[in-house]
Chains A and B, each alone.
Chain A
Amino acid sequence: MYSEWVVSILLLIGGAFILIGSIGLIKMPDFFMRLHGPTKATTLGMAGVLIAAMVFFSNAQDGISVKELLITIFLLITAPISGYMLIKSAIHHKLKAKDGTKGLDNVEDD
């Protein structure tokens, strides 16, 4: 009974963060700023959903369930790498940054 409450609350928190990350995708004016939502706001969202899964399956089956931790670890490892690849190709294609972005002269041509 209690676990149902915990699972629901965790799912709601996780869903909220994933939603905010997606809103960031629509709202932000340029590519570089849009990248911040998916690389960060969704990490905590996924963590919430996975902890909810851990609590749910620990209750539904015998013993505790910890394999969801692996998904969290792989997400933490791959999220920055994919973000890095995206921003690197964006710089390579010379995508326009929003007007008023400071430090554009720090970006070197390659």
Chain B
Amino acid sequence: MRLESRFRWLPTPFRSLLLFVVWLLLNNSVSPGHLILAALFAFFIPVITFPFREPQPLIIKPSLAVKQFLIVLYDIITANLQVALLILGPVKKLRPAFVKVPLDLTHAMPITILASTVSLTPGTVSAEVYPIPESLPPGEEPTERFLLIHVLDLDDEQALIDTIKQRYEAPLKEIFQC
């Protein structure tokens, strides 16, 4: 996990790119004036706001991040179809369950991304990360973490845990190198 960028004048490269694209999308134009303004914003806003924020892990492998984004997008579409079928089908056949998934990730941001992907993909909503930070003595790091998820229709608990770990957690570990 790397928290500091290689370039001091560009502390958060991904956020700069995001600002650039969002500004152009908001204005719905690629005229030279907006390109220059977007570049200025993308450069100065991260530099000015960087000292206020806690350092976040950087994306080390952008190509893998793009691939993972497309995989998740595909999964969102299939998840929508699956959940739509489950909703329309008989309610009595559903087997709801709470499942605890052990986590290998340690930093808050990759865990947030994992929890969001789990919420958006097939039949699962993430509920809680254990242990809850407030329940620990101050200054102590938990040795192992769990993600509590609610499943709409649980078939095989171990298979579900394996899918989440391989399909969503392993790529995140590689993207952030942690």
- Name A's B-contacting residues (CB within 8 A): 17, 20-21, 23-24, 27-30, 32-33, 35-37, 39-41, 43-45, 65-67, 69-70, 76-77, 79-81, 83-84, 87-88, 91, 97-98, 100-104, 106-108, 110
Contact = CB atoms under 8 A, between A and B. Distances in A.
7 contacts: A20-B84, A41-B83, A67-B28, A97-B98, A101-B96, A107-B128, A107-B148
B80 A43 contact: yes
Range, interface on chain B: 35 or more
Contacts of B76: 40, 43-44, 76
A80 B84 contact: no
B122 to A, nearest CB: 8
Given A67-B26, A80-B126, A106 B99 contact: yes
Contacts of B123: 36
Nearest to A103: B98
Nearest to A48: B80
A86 to B, nearest CB: 9
Interface in B92-151: 94-100, 115-117, 119-120, 123, 125-128, 130, 132, 135, 148, 150
Nearest to B116: A80
Given A70-B22, A80-B119, A84-B127, A101 B98 contact: yes
Interface of B: 22, 25-26, 28, 76-77, 79-81, 83-84, 86-88, 91, 94-100, 115-117, 119-120, 123, 125-128, 130, 132, 135, 148, 150, 152, 154, 157
Contacts of A45: 80
Contact of A98 (B87, B96, B119, B128): B96
Contacts of B95: 100, 102
Contacts of A88: 127-128
Contact of B125 (A23, A36, A97, A107): A36
A110 B116 contact: no
